[in-house]
Structure 1
Amino acid sequence: MKEKILEKASDMFLNLGFKSVTMDDLANEMGISKKTIYTHFENKTRLVQECTFCLFNQINSGIDLICATGKNPIEELYDIKKFVISHLKDEKSSPQYQLQKYYPRIFDNLREKQYELMQQCTVSNIKRGLELGIYRENLNIEFISRIYISGVAGIKDGRFFPEGNFSPKELQDYFLEYHLRGIVTPKGRKILNDIIDSTHE
């Protein structure tokens, strides 16, 4: 039952927001009593915490599986982007904003874990791209990985990219292409162009 509650709560939080969904809403949606929920989660904060870290672990595992397929680093980044978007329901900005505003400690803890994971992934991706000759050999790996991660966070900032001006998917597409065009070799550019052309067909 605990797993079912986590699954349903995660779905509702991502679609409606962490503050918007009450324990009553969740109980009604599942056709169970609030008491049943409280048997597994002492309060809503605990439920939010477990949902966010459960989701983080699922995404982490999915990214590991993608990296294990051995695709070239450019394809790998596109596959990861597609996977994360589908897992986060196109990630509306409202849930993230509500998590940051109403559960700041959970938000900060989660962001720290995300940063560590992204740093490892990005550094590994750049190193492989260099080995394969599809990324430029004079890259400063530390700088590129950090600027990429700050950009991923930046496109989620409503002050710079107000909701309604771009869809989350458009922003991800534009940003990933922007990042890759700055670091690819001519060989890498051909792979990138082929991927972009195939997604526009």
Structure 2
Amino acid sequence: MRERILDKAQELFFRYGVKSVTMDDIARELGISKKTIYQHFEDKNAIVYAGVEHHFACDRTIAEQMQNEAPDPIAEMVMTSEMMRQTMAGMNPTAIFDIKKYYPQAWDLFSKYKKEFILEMVKKNLLKGIEMGLYRSTVNVDILSRLRLEQVEMGLDPYLFPLGQFNPLDTQLELLDHFLRGIVTIEGLNLYEKYITKQLSTPISTMAFFSQKNTY
């Protein structure tokens, strides 16, 4: 029952935003009483926290799998963009903003995840890319890895990119594209162009996308 409540709550949060969804909404969608929900979660804040925690646990598993299976660091970045596309496609753009503004404990999880896990993943990606000659040898890994993290959070800021004017997914993909083009070598750029061409023309799953490691 706890998992059912959490799954339904996350579905509603993604569809309508976090702030607008009430405990009554969750109970009604599940066909249960609010009392049943309170037997498993102290309040809505606890549901949001558990949902964010679960999301990052899944995200971490996928990110580690992509880093292990990607044939090169550029492929990993493109796979990341595809995962981002699939995740954000049906998401209400206010959901993340709601968490940041109204649920500080849950947002702290994001900050911790960003600083302790994503930062190291980006650093590994940059170092491997330099080693393989796909990223410029002059790239400052410490600076650029932090820049990439801030780009992600900046792209979610509705004050910088108003929701009525900018699509959050388009913003994130544009920032990632800009970041990659700024660090690749000529060889890396050619590989990147081939990958994104294939990505646009072949609508398949993220993992299947680079299943054949010697494509290029």
Partner of residue 211, structure 2 = none
**1:152 Cα deviation from its structure 2 partner:** 1.4
Amino acid at match of 2:162: P
Would the alpha carbon gap of residues 25 and 118 (structure 1) be closer, same or farther in structure 2, given more than 3 Å must change?
Answer: same
Q: Report the Cα distance in structure 2 between the residues aligned to 1:116 and 1:97, rounded to whole angstroms.
A: 21
Written as runs of structure 1 = structure 2, the 5 A alignment for 1:1-201 is: 1-201=1-201
**1:106 Cα deviation from its structure 2 partner:** 2.2
TM superposition score normalised by structure 1: 0.92
User: Which deviates further from its counterpart, 32-41 or 99-108?
Assistant: 99-108
Q: Is the 8 A contact 1:91 1:168 kept in 2?
A: no
Q: Report the Cα distance in structure 1 between the residues aligned to 2:88 and 2:6, rounded to whole angstroms.
A: 15
Q: Report the Cα distance in structure 2 between the residues aligned to 1:172 and 1:101, rounded to whole angstroms.
A: 20
Cα deviation 1:76-99 (Å, max 9, x = unaligned): 011122213323445433112211
Over aligned residue pairs, what C-alpha RMSD do you find? 1.6
Q: Report the Cα distance in structure 2 between the residues aligned to 1:19 and 1:161, rounded to whole angstroms.
A: 20
Amino acid at match of 1:12: L
**1:158 Cα deviation from its structure 2 partner:** 1.5
Partner of residue 210, structure 2 = none
**1:15 Cα deviation from its structure 2 partner:** 1.6
Amino acid at match of 1:198: K
Identity, in percent, stands at 33
Report SS of the residue matched to 1:182.
helix
Q: Report the Cα distance in structure 1 between the residues aligned to 2:64 and 2:88, rounded to whole angstroms.
A: 17
**1:150 Cα deviation from its structure 2 partner:** 1.0
Q: Report the Cα distance in structure 2 between the residues aligned to 1:147 and 1:27, rounded to whole angstroms.
A: 42
Partner of residue 207, structure 2 = none
Q: Report the Cα distance in structure 1 between the residues aligned to 2:25 and 2:86, rounded to whole angstroms.
A: 24
Q: Is the 8 A contact 2:84 2:169 kept in 1?
A: no
Q: Is the 8 A contact 1:126 1:141 kept in 2?
A: yes
Q: Report the Cα distance in structure 2 between the residues aligned to 1:200 and 1:64, rounded to whole angstroms.
A: 24
**1:70 Cα deviation from its structure 2 partner:** 3.5
User: Which deviates further from its counterpart, 7-16 or 119-128?
Assistant: 7-16
Amino acid at match of 1:123: K
TM superposition score normalised by structure 2: 0.86
Amino acid at match of 1:194: K
Amino acid at match of 2:186: P
Q: Report the Cα distance in structure 2 between the residues aligned to 1:90 and 1:195, rounded to whole angstroms.
A: 24
**1:200 Cα deviation from its structure 2 partner:** 4.0
**1:75 Cα deviation from its structure 2 partner:** 1.1
Cα deviation 1:133-163 (Å, max 9, x = unaligned): 1001111100110111111111111222111
Q: Report the Cα distance in structure 2 between the residues aligned to 1:178 and 1:131, rounded to whole angstroms.
A: 21
**1:37 Cα deviation from its structure 2 partner:** 1.0
Count matched residues: 201
Amino acid at match of 2:54: C
**1:167 Cα deviation from its structure 2 partner:** 2.0
Q: Report the Cα distance in structure 1 between the residues aligned to 2:125 and 2:36, rounded to whole angstroms.
A: 44
Q: Is the 8 A contact 1:10 1:55 kept in 2?
A: no
Q: Report the Cα distance in structure 1 between the residues aligned to 2:64 and 2:87, rounded to whole angstroms.
A: 14
Would the alpha carbon gap of residues 38 and 88 (structure 1) be closer, same or farther in structure 2, given more than 3 Å must change?
Answer: farther
Q: Report the Cα distance in structure 2 between the residues aligned to 1:70 and 1:196, rounded to whole angstroms.
A: 15
Q: Is the 8 A contact 2:15 2:90 kept in 1?
A: no
